[in-house]
Amino acid sequence: MTTILTRGTVRIDVESCKGCDLCIAACRPGVLHMTTDRFNQRGYRYPELSAGCTGCDACAQVCPDFVFEVWKFEEPVDLPPGLVPDAAVHRTVAAFKDDNH
Amino acid sequence: MTKRLLQGSEAVAEAAIAAGCRFFAGYPMLPFTELLEQMASKLPAAGGVCINAASEIEGINMALGAAATGARAATGSCGQGLALMQEAIAELALNELPLVIFNMARGQQDYFQATRGGGWGDYRTITLAPKDVTEAVDHTQLLFHLADLHRTPVILYGDYVIAHSSVAVDVRPLAFPPTPPKVWALDGSMTGSGRARQIWTWAQGKPNTPGPGPNRAWQTIAEKYDHIAGIEARHEVAHADDADILLVSFGTTGVFVDRVVEELRAEGLRVGAFRPVTLWPFPGAALEAASRGCSHVLVYELNGGQMVDDVRMYAADRSVVRSIGGVSQDGSGMRQGALLDAAVLRRRVLDAVGLTEGAR
Amino acid sequence: MNEREVLFTGIGGQGLQMVSKALGMAALADGREVLLVPRYGGMMRGGKTNAELTIGDPPLRALPVVTAAWSAFVMHQAFWETIRPNLRSGAVVVVNSSLFHLDVDVDEARSFRVPATDIAAELGSPMSAGFVLLGAFLAITGLAPVGAAVDAMRQLVPPYRTQHVTNNERAIEAGVAAGPALAAPAWSDLEGVR
Amino acid sequence: MTPRLISAFKPSLLQSSEHDLCPGCGHAPAWRITLDVVAELDLKPVVLAGHGCYTQLMVNSDVDSLQTLHGRAPAAATGVKRMLPDTPVITLQGDGDMVSEGLHEVLHAAARGERITALLFNNGVFGDTGGHMTATTVVGQRTKTSLDGRDAEQHGYPIDVGRLLAQIDGAAYVARGAVSSAGLVARTKRMIRRALELQLEGAGFTFVEVLTMCPTGWFVGTPQGPEYLEESMIATFGIGELKAPSAP
């Protein structure tokens, strides 16, 4: 079963995304893809993460809506190809505000 | 000409061009921005010039220069932008230069600015406040006439209803009597003639053509504004002959007053309406006449109480004058808020005269 | 008092201001008087974009603030709450069900759900969803002639966007097909709504 | 295999990431790196903001901030810095605010060598009025007041305020970055850091211009924003340090 060497991951705040696509082109390993037929509460498509992330932080740097939280693994891990399940974070904006005491 | 569905800013731009405006300069600031857009797209085709100025101060000084050549010119902004323009407005007045200034205001809080002015010296600015887009189209053309007739800066007091809403309107050019020839206009032709002209608020003149100097020039201009005050006041009045309650408002608030007057009269209340069309000169004599015998003169303006000062100055009985408006902006601060509503006005009128809903 | 009000709401980028003007121009071409007051804020794409349109026989007595509207034209749910309180009971509410998933809590509302964004996407022109809903709205209410709305659209599309004209036309037609014909007629049930 | 956090959703000094900037707007990433630098240098600045789409970011930012009149931030900042010489002072303006309305103020603040860091988020258009021409709109760029593209014959040329400031002796550091790619974001962040360090050293007036995307005002789709920025603004103005003290 082929696996993909993955050195990092991101958590994606789906509800904050306004579907601008900038992270797709910025992602160096090209593991971010916009949904095509699913929308967040505001009616925007949003990015999904596949295996192969390097934790390079490019997506977070270009994102206008602060959608990405970027992590790096101490040791690279092998992941099955395809979507990384726990990447999407369905946080309501209100929940997000609570983080800011 | 058939009626077209035009945004107010587009209708006003066409009216200005129909009145002969050939220079416009402005800086974007909502709700004035759309008028600048319309002038940018329509003026060149009419042989005019529209400049996207780098600041309000630059914009009005460009327009002052164009006016000095005798061209019909205009500028504008909202109240905040006009605050920057005050020095230049005074300069225009004391240079006796004609200019039309569009205040597409963010509400009704610029009444003092328009009628008292924030520049230096003895001057006033004729100010017309239309109640809807149709009236704004006529006022725009009238202002270009009055500016040339009296050689003075003049103001159209609009707002987001005038600037943004679209109505079916027919922008037909209005005819006005001829205005005096602009012998004072600068074009360089008198250079070297020994009688070259100068436009300056100090009015010193030149060796062969001495001017009156600041004292006499400013006296003459002050007397001119007194003269204008006597002849250019305009107002609209309804049912004043039998009114016991007189509602006084200006600008787009007027259509709400008309609706409430109509409703309350149908319910047997003797209510009339008075609307200054020129904020300056204030139609004092007409107000005095309309308010004679009224037990209540209620001023409905969406600010902290500004026109109420003029109403008190001229009302037949000052003690019955009361303000029933108030500061009222929507969340964006760009337009009037919840007070601009017929039901609210109706309740405030009934409260003011001590009647409750359905008590009669 | 033969006047009908339409409250529009949506988010920036859906072409709502153009669609509301097209409906106003169509009504004017049909011999009626019109007052259209847009209400939009600073943020363009994604921000609130509303409009209040009143159509009726001259002389129009409408005020630039509508507080008991006959109908609603809803392109997105984000700013639905800014117009819902200003709808009268029994209002006709036509919503773009692709991006409006709330229940229409207006008493005695006659609501119609049209997946305008999906229809526009199937036509290959997602940007024309506004004109799909316009077609449906005109079919349901007969507020103004569809032909006049198409002509108005042609005049309104700016010179740098004429490539959209044919898409918008097909969108209006698709909308008309999607809207139950005269299910809530604007001009014949004068008494029905009070 | 415990992962290490590289970057949180938002900078620590941003109290809420909810804002009304359009999709694809470059102001947000530009403000993000600014707040990150302020936090990394552990500064307690006073920020003075002009009027533009970025103004709303002040409401979400946990920094002392003074909202100034359109174009007047460098003047107000002079007053703040002269009264608080040891407090870092940052001004944030757009191209409409600085290069159109307030060109007079920023040039004179530089000439006086005011020890402030002036930031310019330049997207070549008035975003919050709906996309109108400014003093930095490039030739050929379509805006609501130059519908057929800015034409030098009628509208004149854009002003490269960086080049002007680099000629002024009071200016110690003048640089221009952009946020159209992750690489440029990182490079621009280093410029902002350098400018703030020089301010703290008392080197004089420091200035960083950040070219930002405004897809709405440019009539382009959000994915085309970065490419349009590179072809229009970077092609016209260039990227890099226009003036910097020689390496210590």
All domains in chain A, ordered by first residue: 4-91 (3.30.70.20)
- Interface touch A72/D226, C-beta < 8 Å: no
Nearest chain C Cα distance for residue B5, angstroms: 6
pLDDT of residue D147: 84
pLDDT digits (tens, 9 = 90+) for D33-90: 999 999 999 999 999 999 999 998 998 899 999 999 999 999 999 999 998 999 999 9
Q: Is residue C186 part of a domain?
A: no
Q: Do chains C and B touch (3 or more CB pairs under 8 A)?
A: yes
For residue A66, which residues of chain D lie inside 8 Å, CB to CB?
Answer: 9-10, 14, 17, 28, 32
Size of interface B-D (CB pairs under 8 A): 40
pLDDT of residue C194: 37
* Closest partner CB to B28 (pick from D129, D147, D154): D129
Q: Which of B287 and A38 is assigned the larger pLDDT?
A: B287
D206: domain CATH number is 3.40.50.970
Nearest CA in chain B to D155: B51
pLDDT digits (tens, 9 = 90+) for C52-61: 999 999 889 8
Residue C188, pLDDT above cutoff 50: yes
Nearest chain C Cα distance for residue A42, angstroms: 7
For residue C41, which residues of chain D lie inside 8 Å, CB to CB?
Answer: 20
pLDDT of residue B305: 98
Mutation site, D100, D125, D133, D143, interface B, largest B CB count within 10 A: D100
Q: Among B76, B96, B26, which residue's Cα sits nearest to residue B55?
A: B26
Nearest chain D Cα distance for residue A16, angstroms: 7
> Is C92 within 8 Å of chain A by CB?
no
- Interface touch C47/D20, C-beta < 8 Å: yes
Q: Is residue C54 part of a domain?
A: yes
ipTM: 0.82
Predicted TM-score of the model (pTM): 0.88
The CATH T-level fold of domain B235-352 is Rossmann fold (3.40.50)
- Interface touch D22/C160, C-beta < 8 Å: no
Q: Is residue D134 part of a domain?
A: yes
pLDDT of residue A90: 63
Give residue A91's identity as a one-letter amino acid code: R
Mutation site, B5, B108, B134, interface C, largest C CB count within 10 A: B5
Q: Is residue C188 part of a domain?
A: no
- Interface touch D129/B52, C-beta < 8 Å: no
Q: Which chains touch A (3 or more CB pairs under 8 A)?
A: C, D
- Interface touch C37/B161, C-beta < 8 Å: yes
C166 contacts C150 by C-beta, under 8 angstroms: no
> Is A38 within 8 Å of chain C by CB?
no
Place of tokens 């006009």: B82
Q: Among C173, C176, C73, C167, which residue's Cα sits nearest to residue C128?
A: C167
Mutation site, C54, C63, C79, interface B, largest B CB count within 10 A: C63
Q: Is residue D81 part of a domain?
A: yes
Region of poorest pLDDT, from A87-91, B194-198, D193-197: A87-91
Nearest CA in chain C to A40: C99
Please provide the average confidence, as pLDDT, over all residues in chain D.
Answer: 94
Nearest CA in chain D to C161: D219
Angle at D225 between CA B54 and CA D155, to 5 degrees: 25
Q: Is residue D87 part of a domain?
A: yes
> Is B256 within 8 Å of chain C by CB?
yes
- Interface touch A16/D18, C-beta < 8 Å: yes
> Is D145 within 8 Å of chain B by CB?
yes
Q: How far is CA B277 from CA B146, B233, B247, B355, in A?
A: 14, 8, 14, 30
Residue A96, pLDDT above cutoff 50: no
pLDDT per residue rounded down to tens, chain B (360 residues): 589 999 999 999 999 999 999 999 999 999 999 999 999 999 999 999 999 999 999 999 999 999 999 999 999 999 999 999 999 999 999 999 999 999 999 999 999 999 998 999 999 999 999 999 999 999 999 999 999 999 999 999 999 999 999 999 999 999 999 999 999 999 989 988 988 888 999 999 888 899 999 999 999 999 999 999 999 999 999 999 999 999 999 999 999 999 999 999 999 999 999 999 999 999 999 999 999 999 999 999 999 999 999 999 999 999 999 999 999 999 888 899 999 999 999 999 999 999 877 654
**H or E element at residue B150:** helix B133-150
Q: Which residues pair with B52 in a beta bridge?
A: B26
> Is C134 within 8 Å of chain B by CB?
no
Nearest CA in chain D to A25: D223
Q: Which chains touch B (3 or more CB pairs under 8 A)?
A: C, D
| The two structure tokens encoding residue B171 | 């922008």
Q: Among B150, B58, B51, which residue's Cα sits nearest to residue B100?
A: B150
Residue C37, pLDDT above cutoff 70: yes
The CATH H-level (homologous superfamily) assignment of domain B4-169 is Thiamin diphosphate (ThDP)-binding fold, Pyr/PP domains (3.40.50.970)
Q: Where does CATH 3.40.50.970 sit in chain B?
A: 4-169
pLDDT-based confidence at C182, cuts 50/70/90?
A: very high
For residue B3, which residues of chain C lie inside 8 Å, CB to CB?
Answer: 28
- Domain span at residue C44? 3-178
What is the DSSP annotation of D59-108?
HHB-SEEEE--TT-HHHHHHHHHHH-TTS-EEEEEEHIIIIIITHHHHHH
How many domains is chain D built from?
A: 1
Q: Do chains D and C touch (3 or more CB pairs under 8 A)?
A: yes
pLDDT of residue A50: 94
Q: Do chains B and A touch (3 or more CB pairs under 8 A)?
A: no
> Is D149 within 8 Å of chain C by CB?
no
pLDDT of residue A60: 97
For residue B44, which residues of chain D lie inside 8 Å, CB to CB?
Answer: 154
Residue C1, pLDDT above cutoff 70: no
> Is D68 within 8 Å of chain B by CB?
no
Q: Is residue D181 part of a domain?
A: yes
pLDDT of residue A95: 43
Q: Is residue D6 part of a domain?
A: no
Region of poorest pLDDT, from A77-81, B153-157, C7-11, C68-72: A77-81
* Closest partner CB to C45 (pick from D23, D128, D142): D23
Mutation site, B32, B55, B164, interface D, largest D CB count within 10 A: B55
For residue B36, which residues of chain D lie inside 8 Å, CB to CB?
Answer: 132, 145
Q: Which chains touch C (3 or more CB pairs under 8 A)?
A: A, B, D
> Is D103 within 8 Å of chain B by CB?
yes
User: Hey, is C164 helix, strand or coil?
Assistant: helix
Long-range contacts from C122-128, C-beta under 8 angstroms, 24+ separation: C123/C167, C123/C170, C123/C171, C123/C174, C124/C167, C125/C164, C125/C167, C125/C168, C125/C170, C125/C171, C127/C15, C127/C164, C127/C167, C128/C15, C128/C164, C128/C167, C128/C168, C128/C170, C128/C171
| The two structure tokens encoding residue D215 | 């897809």
How many domains is chain C built from?
A: 1
pLDDT of residue A101: 35
- Interface touch C36/B166, C-beta < 8 Å: yes
- Interface touch B5/C41, C-beta < 8 Å: no
Residue B237 has phi, psi (to 5 degrees) of -135, 145
For residue D130, which residues of chain C lie inside 8 Å, CB to CB?
Answer: 44
Nearest chain B Cα distance for residue C150, angstroms: 15
Q: Is residue C183 part of a domain?
A: no
Segment D217-246 shows an average pLDDT of 96
Q: Among B270, B300, B273, B304, which residue's Cα sits nearest to residue B287?
A: B273
- Interface touch A64/D28, C-beta < 8 Å: yes
Q: How far is CA B203 from CA B62, B208, C88, in A?
A: 21, 14, 64
C128: domain CATH number is 3.40.920.10
Q: Which residues pair with B329 in a beta bridge?
A: B336
pLDDT-based confidence at D133, cuts 50/70/90?
A: very high
> Is B41 within 8 Å of chain D by CB?
yes
| Rounded CA separation D25/D218 (Å) | 11
Q: Among B250, B246, B249, which residue's Cα sits nearest to residue B265?
A: B246
For residue D94, which residues of chain C lie inside 8 Å, CB to CB?
Answer: none
* Closest partner CB to B54 (pick from D103, D129, D145): D103
Residue C24, pLDDT above cutoff 80: yes
- Domain span at residue D168? 27-243
% helix, strand, coil for chain B, step of 5: 40, 20, 40
B89 contacts B52 by C-beta, under 8 angstroms: no
| Rounded CA separation B31/B26 (Å) | 12
| Rounded CA separation B153/B157 (Å) | 13
Place of tokens 């790619």: D181
As to burial, measured by CB atoms within 10 angstroms (0-12 exposed, 13-18 middle, 19+ buried), residue B76 is buried
Q: Is residue D111 part of a domain?
A: yes
* DSSP strands (E only) in B29-165: 49-52, 73-77, 99-104, 126-128, 153-158
**H or E element at residue A77:** strand A68-79
- Interface touch C24/B5, C-beta < 8 Å: yes
